Amino acid sequence: MAVDAAHGLRLRAWRTDHNLTQKQLAKHLGVAWLTVQRWETGHRAQPSFLYLALERLDEVLARRGLVAHEPATDPW
């Protein structure tokens, strides 16, 4: 049963916009890749602080030149 498919789609869009695989995103967040997969498919609820982690990761990746845009102010 899906928890929230809309959040999962936004997470997948964020991840693909940043050219990250599920495994790479999981490593950055310190979780198993299966957790990312379950968040994206809506089979597991995303933690309420995930948007903060993604915001910070966005800044880090932009500073390293690994994304083609400036850090987002609100990824959600």
49-60 pLDDT per residue, tens: 999 999 999 999
* pLDDT at residue 66, as a whole number: 77
Q: Residue 59 contacts by C-beta under 8 Å, 6 or more apart in sequence?
A: 71
In angstroms, the CA 36 to CA 47 distance is 11
DSSP sequence for 36-59: HHHHHHTSSPPPTTHHHHHHHHHH
* pLDDT at residue 21, as a whole number: 97
CB 26 within 8 A of CB 33: yes
- C-alpha R_g of the chain: 12
Domains recognised in the chain with CATH numbers: 5-63 (1.10.260.40)
* pLDDT at residue 65, as a whole number: 85
pLDDT at 12 over 80: yes
